[in-house]
Amino acid sequence: MEDFVYFFSFQDPNVAMVVAGITLLSISAAMVGTFTFLDKKALLGDAISHAVLPGVCLAFMFAGSKNPYWIVLGAFITGAVSTYAIEWISRSTKLKEDTVIAAVLSVFFGIGILLLTQLQQTGDAALSGLDHFLFGNAISIVYEDLMVYGILALLVIVCLLVFYKEFKLIIFNPGYAQSVGLPVKRLKLLFNTLLVMAVVTGIQAIGVVLMAALLITPPAAARFWSDRLKIILLLAVIFAVFSGIAGAYISFAVPHMPTGPWVVMAISFIAFASFFFAGKKGILSKWYNQRNYQQKIHRDHLLKSLYQVRERNAAPLGKADILELFPGKEKETKRFISKLKKEGQIEEKSNHLLLTPTGLVEAKRVVRLHRLWELYLAQYLNLAPDHVHDMAEKMEHLLTPELEAKLDASLDYPTQDPHHSKIPRDHDL
């Protein structure tokens, strides 16, 4: 608890720098990652994050120290080369893009590990902490690092905001973007540059191995909550910043604990929570909505059965008769009979189930929707009358009052369905 209070009180300038740095790089990574994710280029970010490792090692060999300027330059060069290599090979061969990305990623990362191993075997004391670039160590950020990585992250954020409309257009409709005169190729080159820069800003705090997770997982989690780009961007930034600060705090509280894995753990927890609990797209939400839909179908069919008996002037149905109409659903049918009684939709008299005035109005609505849709299918799709029942059974539960009114008007307020059955109206007795 003391560590928590100390970390978030920002009494230590180093802690304040870490929080500022991790916040900026998380925002830039989430924003770039959102466009990359929506453009279905998620693997490209993974390839770039692994491809910067040989650049880090070569920069150290050249500079002889972990100078952030040289590290950023080396990482940017190899990241850019890997991006160009992927595009060139994909364009020049028949290989699929994911195959090319996997191959380039493996080659660059293999070279990086080879160089890192060679450097570690030299026993140079200046190499201390170079392995932090693999899994990240946010607590090792100093003022000079913050200036370099922070300015890069800020530059990425500003560029994305300035070219927001252009990037949005080339991702969702590149053909239209080109037709209105936008320089699509140059904009894509700019975006790839920003993607490489976003990866480079996180190599020290998050690590080259796990940086791809901070790029892709936040927008993937945000996508479950909304379909609007601005909302997805905002949620992705919030998720990334929270995960980045959480990982930095654990690195601070637990000695020798790398930042990257804990950032991934935090963002993965958010992603799984979104996967299960998000609004309309979460697994549990979908299950709940599907369950309610199936219950609505059964409820409507029960009311429709009682109405059709009344319509034919047949003998009223008892509870046993209703149960026979829905074989295998006895328990569910009994539950709905009790529920409809409580709602005042049906009543039981002399062991017979009858529609109340309220239930009659609802039952008419269900039957009317069914017969209107049957007539629509027969008239506009030229389906035979004996082929429209099953499709109408599905659609009658989905039509809203607004769609019902439009459907009714388009059919000129008919009185009969294709089977010459009367289409009931609310004013009918």
343-399 per-position pLDDT tens digit = 888 888 878 888 888 888 888 888 888 888 888 888 877 777 777 777 777 777 777
Mention the CATH class of domain 2-279: mainly alpha
Collect contacts of 333-342 with beta carbons under 8 A, ≥24 apart: 333/298, 333/302, 336/295, 336/298, 336/299, 336/302, 337/302, 339/299, 340/299, 340/302, 340/303
Q: Which of 24, 20, 41, 23 is nearest to 219 (CA)?
A: 41
pLDDT value for 235: 92
Average pLDDT score over residue span 145-150: 76
Give 417's pLDDT tier (boundaries 50, 70, 90): confident
- Give the mean pLDDT of 108-120: 81
Provide the pLDDT confidence category of residue 294 given band limits of 50, 70 and 90: confident
Q: What is the pLDDT of residues 248-293, one digit of tens each?
A: 777 777 766 677 778 888 888 888 888 888 877 788 888 888 888 8
Q: What pLDDT is attached to residue 234? A: 92
Domain ranges of the chain: 2-279, 282-429
For 211-264, the DSSP string reads: HHHHHHHHHHHHTTT-S-HHHHHHHHHHHHHHHHHHHHHHHHHSTT--HHHHHH
Q: What are the tens digits of pLDDT across the range 59-107?
A: 888 777 677 778 888 888 888 888 888 888 888 888 888 888 888 888 8
pLDDT digits (tens, 9 = 90+) for 302-348: 888 888 888 887 778 887 878 887 887 888 888 888 888 888 888 88
Model pTM above 0.85: no
165-to-130, 180, 183, 236, 362 alpha-carbon distances in Å: 39, 13, 13, 18, 48
135 against 170, higher pLDDT:
170
Residue 398's contacts (CB-CB under 8 Å, 6 or more residues apart) are: none
pLDDT at residue 410 above 80?
yes
Contacts for 232 with CB less than 8 Å, ≥ 6 apart: 34, 38, 219, 222, 223, 225, 226
Cβ atoms 273, 216 nearer than 8 A: no
Residue 125 pLDDT: 46
pLDDT band for position 14 (cuts 50, 70, 90): low
Q: Model confidence at 186, in pLDDT bands (50, 70, 90)?
A: confident
Amino acid at position 188, single letter: K
Domains 2-279 and 282-429 share a fold: no
Asked if pLDDT for residue 9 goes beyond 70, the answer is no
State how beta strands 346-349 and 352-355 pair.
antiparallel
CB neighbours of residue 23 within 10 Å? 18
Fold of 282-429: Arc Repressor Mutant, subunit A (1.10.10)
Residues 6+ apart with CB under 8 A from 348: 319, 341, 354
Q: What angle do CA 92, 95, 97 make, to 5 degrees?
A: 95
**pLDDT, position 3:** 54
pLDDT higher than threshold 80 for residue 47: yes
